[in-house]
Amino acid sequence: MSSELLTERRDTTLVLTVRGAANRNSLSAQACAAGIEAINNAADEPGIHCIVLHGDGAHFCAGADPHALGHDEAGPGGFEAAFDGLIDVMRSSPKPVIAAVEGHAVDAGFVLALACDVVIAADDACFSWTQPQAAAALTLQLPRPLAMQLLWLTEALSARRLHGMGLANEVVPPGEALAEALRWGRKLAGVPADRIAAAKEWFRSRG
């Protein structure tokens, strides 16, 4: 069974949950499309100030769902197009997007976390890349020496190492990533929306 994306409103924060227990929350094209729709809708909803993205259960996201890649109704290349669309809408949304990372963030899940504006990671979270043939998205977001290490050795990075490099905002005890992300959502609700949108647009314009 392919993964799905659940949506839940918590005060002024929209929580998006990738759920696919059988495959550690691997992404399907359908889940990506649901994310695009939810984030676009949130952009036009004045009562939503923040978006939190996390995985159901013990893991964040283990990449692309192999079942979805083989049976995707969108056809060949459907997942890649849907995933690229999701990343683009996350970056272009005027609302801040926060990743709450527990467990594994692998391949597309790693890219998904890094595409968020804020990353909250559990202390035992790990980030890894196993597909050298599809590395463009990763190399755009990481320093070249680190990207090369990941592509060549496929070693996992700890949450604390990402934090030390400025790629994660906070490291929290296991099981606390979502709660901390929601606290960030409450803090960001007090920041003027135009300031948040302007900062996101400035970074987006820099490529």
Give per-residue pLDDT as tens, 159-179: 999 999 999 999 999 999 999
Longest dimension (CA), the chain: 45
d(CA 138, CA 51): 22
d(CA 185, CA 190): 9
pLDDT of residue 74 exceeding 60, the answer is no
The reported pTM is 0.91
* Sign of the alpha-carbon dihedral angle for 35, 37, 40, 46: negative
Which among 183, 31, 27, 173 is positioned nearest to 102, based on CA atoms? 173
Average pLDDT, rounded, for the chain: 89
